[in-house]
Structure 1
């Protein structure tokens, strides 16, 4: 004990730590400790938590457009406890934003913003702006779709005021968002803004200690020192805050991470963090972006800045300056809350099927507005669900093959389940559906195809579509084509010019009997040509052999016609009357059909062109894009565990 006392005296003589501790803990609190005083300490505690968690996160973060998302993915999914660390950092940042207006309201209600505390109040406003800046710069760092596009919208608003374009270029690091953007936002987020916040916080606390607490002594409540009661109250508040954030981080399994940013793919689900939604919604209220994004927020902040001066206005009636400040600030907070609620409601605006049908047919302007709101919300949820699907898919690809040196976008660009689906939607879905008929509705990664014309029927209707390609080449898909009751459905030949052709006639009249066994064997033989990875037929050798015989022998059906009477198949190479069935639905076969459907081995057989409206996509797509489409249709990479 003597050694410890000597060490303490040695340190105290050289640092004055005992006097500093006494000054910190034995500050007088007029009227005693109060629970409403804890918000300031909770804000400081939240910032310290951010500093600690941010330091550890920075140790594993790599700020470049090829590595940022991958490093955050590593933190979230591979680093021990990384998901929890990131979750605490993310949700504590939101807690700071919640605590800021609470603390500000307490300061104003306690009149801690008037003489002689004006400068300390203004320092608080600066600290609030820095906190918002930390939220904005941190949003981009994961380099995912949501953060990228939301930040791009925010930084584009910087160009509105005079000189804003130069400021935006400086912040972004040029005209394009990329490596320089990330490094600058990272530097702002971990160095510049925290350093500024610490500096202004020191000044803020120094002025607070200089002027003391605004409360007055009372006969009912005696004065108390900061220690121990107020320290205990502050500690309880901070402990509750941390426990709440810790619970939220665990409950939500860390912070959300979307798919990697794609600068070439717009994202309709891009939104700022919820605490910026009121500004996002405010922007929609004005035709001029300059007014909504610069003028109105500037006037509001100007009012906050002028509040200490307005408070000096004291006429001899109820509405003095302080009352005006409290009233206007309360209305502004309520307005921000309402705009936040309104923005969330708009993103979830839906119409019933009956009402949706009504407004689509209506010419009433109010109905058009209602329809636009519905469609906008639908696009928001569509892109949000697609982003979740893309993220899960990329995570599966990472487990399957890791992240390439070129970055996670390389996984996305080479994946048929993502890029093939997008190509199908853009190039094929205007005619073809890609919809699993065994499930209800259209799932993500599936497409409904064109809408059926009103009153359409297979006998007299127009050629508005093409076969549903989900499961193309599978045993079940081929059986449906060879089933009399199904061949003229819209999922097969019903919406094409081929519904009046010889193939439909053969199926409807030549197979209109008990031929299920033969049809199944033929389907297995043709599906074996496809070699689909999700439907191996290794145990069907005998059925495939019998199916091959049936394809080349027509004695079994009512017409006495073999498939090879029209189609080339294996050794029957010179037959012309339908597409070549050798290698049917294989990758090479589909590639040829997509590239040039009028080729002699497809619908250009026998010197004729029986192609029904399908363009030669070799004129519009690269070989890589065609390969992605082929793999998507065949579902070659759908299940990575096979």
Structure 2
């Protein structure tokens, strides 16, 4: 259905709900790719065999027109699912149209139905793909076959003409070849299927966009510095136009002595360049960590939106795009990367699977920057609380990277508490009690995805309130953190320490993100920026619910942890800084031994 609100949805229905719909779409998808390849092979064969020469030049030109129509079908069909990949990749095509001399901007608006992509873009591309271009294809194919039948089969060597009839010998060979191609298409359609990425979202950048693989050579050619210098029109219109002009003139060039050899050499050179540029693009993309991260995120979004569309609520009236926009699992990492990753990390990365980097102004080289606040990858979980109770100083160590004096700021708080109670907490006899404490503290967040042990909860609540363990006792948490176990309410009185009522819940997180300076949190010791004016209500809700785990359960693989990579990068940077300092100290010592300042020249 060619509408910005129904295109993706109709393709999703075909691929996921209709019986054998995914196979049908896969056949359509892979047939178009193989069609382009077979046309290229056919063109090379025609030129090598000299079947383009007079009197067959008209048929050759008709074949070139048919090739352009097939390429146009591929380009227009790429946008029709209205997914992120097709949406952003097709924009490159329309920008190339806009770079045309004289009438470029007007032609671009005509093609896309206005200054921006939208409903009219889809209807025009659909009309071209399903109506105009197929009609032209049938018409020119009829002319092509008519001229072919008129001139007959071209035989490069007249002494080796056909000795058998077309029927049934050649028909059998053609049938076997066609069955082989069909088998390959069916295998791809059944076992791999056609890709359907997340619904198109103009507000969300999509850096993983690439054209179909058979257009990668042009994509890579346009990225050469020399080509970029001359502009998009040079690389995408003038150069391809000249190449197509040479190919179209080949029947005339062949009339000149040595012309056929030139044509064959030109064609082989072009084929090698196309294959080489395609391979280069694939290799460079495989080595580009940012591009690979973008692909992983795109696959994550694609799987997630299909999960959400398959829930009982299904796709809302607003369209499938609203599923991801209102999904904390999708929006949370993006908001974290934008607003939080300058200080915090999430399992070592920026929330979206990438290490946070900065630029060294002296060397103009990027480096992995150190976090200046705690990693929130396991926020309010059992692992989080185990780290807080056993080694709070190390848990909050990233804060010292910003010059924050943890011990001085905390005073006789958690650093002192961990030190005073370490012996009791580490006693093997108290292992079950410590686990019970952690179970109870983790339950405060109300995380719906957390499976809790009822017996541990009851025991943990006793210890948190009274401080009595199997072997020995600890300072009760309620001595400093009043009201543990009650509902959180912003503005309530507390003992001057971070409030643990519903710690890590959506309500607690929203209040903390908006008012970290509140006496219920860090008060005068706070160094975190307030986001009360920086996040909308919807953004705040998405971020808080993601951190609290309050979203529809997902089987999509989350971004892999980067903790080991981050630690290795920080250690490497520290070692390099230490070596630089030693070199500097050595230089100073050499200067002192030489007797002071160097003489002036």
Q: Name the TM-score, length of structure 2 as normaliser.
A: 0.81
> How much does 1:163 deviate?
0.4
CA–CA separation in structure 2 for the residues paired with 1:181 and 1:216: 47
Cα 1:520–1:237 shift into 2, 3 Å: closer
2:452 pairs with one of 537, 548, 554: 537
Residues 198 and 305 in structure 2, CA contact (< 8 A), matched pair in contact too: yes
Cα 1:131–1:482 shift into 2, 3 Å: same
CA–CA separation in structure 1 for the residues paired with 2:420 and 2:342: 32
Cα 1:575–1:276 shift into 2, 3 Å: closer
Q: How many pairs does the alignment contain?
A: 524
> How much does 1:505 deviate?
3.1
2:520 pairs with one of 573, 586, 601: 601
- What do you get for the CA RMSD once the two structures are aligned? 2.7
> How much does 1:160 deviate?
1.2
Superposition map of 1:120-519 within 5 A = 120-161=59-100, 162-215=102-155, 223-252=163-192, 254-285=193-224, 286=227, 287-288=229-230, 289-314=232-257, 320-349=258-287, 377-400=288-311, 401-435=313-347, 445=352, 465-484=372-391, 486-490=392-396, 496-500=404-408, 501=410, 502-515=412-425, 517=430, 519=434
CA–CA separation in structure 1 for the residues paired with 2:156 and 2:234: 43
> How much does 1:639 deviate?
2.2
Cα 1:528–1:119 shift into 2, 3 Å: same
Residues 465 and 490 in structure 1, CA contact (< 8 A), matched pair in contact too: no
Residues 528 and 544 in structure 1, CA contact (< 8 A), matched pair in contact too: no
Residues 283 and 292 in structure 1, CA contact (< 8 A), matched pair in contact too: yes
Residues 566 and 576 in structure 1, CA contact (< 8 A), matched pair in contact too: yes
CA–CA separation in structure 1 for the residues paired with 2:188 and 2:93: 27
Cα 1:277–1:571 shift into 2, 3 Å: closer
Cα 1:99–1:419 shift into 2, 3 Å: same
| Match status 1:636 vs 2:550 | yes
Residues 434 and 449 in structure 1, CA contact (< 8 A), matched pair in contact too: no
Cα 1:216–1:422 shift into 2, 3 Å: closer
CA–CA separation in structure 2 for the residues paired with 1:577 and 1:217: 97
CA–CA separation in structure 1 for the residues paired with 2:241 and 2:280: 22
CA–CA separation in structure 2 for the residues paired with 1:142 and 1:229: 42
Residues 113 and 308 in structure 1, CA contact (< 8 A), matched pair in contact too: yes
| Match status 1:528 vs 2:474 | no
Q: 1:546 corresponds to which residue? A: 462
Cα 1:493–1:527 shift into 2, 3 Å: farther
**In the TM superposition, what whole-angstrom CA distance separates every residue of 1:512-549 from its partner, at most 9, and x where no partner exists?**
21225454444333333222212243613421431342
Q: Name the TM-score, length of structure 1 as normaliser.
A: 0.76
Cα 1:491–1:237 shift into 2, 3 Å: farther
- 2:393 alignment partner, SS class: coil
Residues 468 and 491 in structure 1, CA contact (< 8 A), matched pair in contact too: no
CA–CA separation in structure 2 for the residues paired with 1:231 and 1:489: 75
CA–CA separation in structure 1 for the residues paired with 2:450 and 2:68: 59
CA–CA separation in structure 2 for the residues paired with 1:270 and 1:497: 45
- Farther off after superposition, 231-240 or 165-174: 231-240
Structure 1 spans left out of the alignment, 5+ residues: 1-61, 315-319, 350-376, 436-440, 454-461
Q: 1:610 corresponds to which residue? A: 525
CA–CA separation in structure 2 for the residues paired with 1:282 and 1:388: 27
> How much does 1:556 deviate?
6.0
CA–CA separation in structure 1 for the residues paired with 2:156 and 2:421: 99
Superposition map of 1:94-113 within 5 A = 94-113=33-52
> How much does 1:499 deviate?
4.0
Q: 1:55 corresponds to which residue? A: none
Superposition map of 1:56-67 within 5 A = 62-67=1-6
> How much does 1:449 deviate?
6.5
Q: 1:115 corresponds to which residue? A: 54
1:71 pairs with one of 3, 7, 10: 10
1:591 pairs with one of 488, 501, 510: 510
Residues 343 and 371 in structure 2, CA contact (< 8 A), matched pair in contact too: yes
Cα 1:444–1:112 shift into 2, 3 Å: farther
> How much does 1:631 deviate?
0.8
Cα 1:250–1:619 shift into 2, 3 Å: same
CA–CA separation in structure 1 for the residues paired with 2:159 and 2:240: 44
Structure 2 spans left out of the alignment, 5+ residues: 361-368, 487-491, 556-601
CA–CA separation in structure 1 for the residues paired with 2:485 and 2:58: 93
**In the TM superposition, what whole-angstrom CA distance separates every residue of 1:199-241 from its partner, at most 9, and x where no partner exists?**
0111111111111122289566555442222222222221221
Q: 2:592 corresponds to which residue? A: none
**In the TM superposition, what whole-angstrom CA distance separates every residue of 1:558-578 from its partner, at most 9, and x where no partner exists?**
6xx443333332599744321
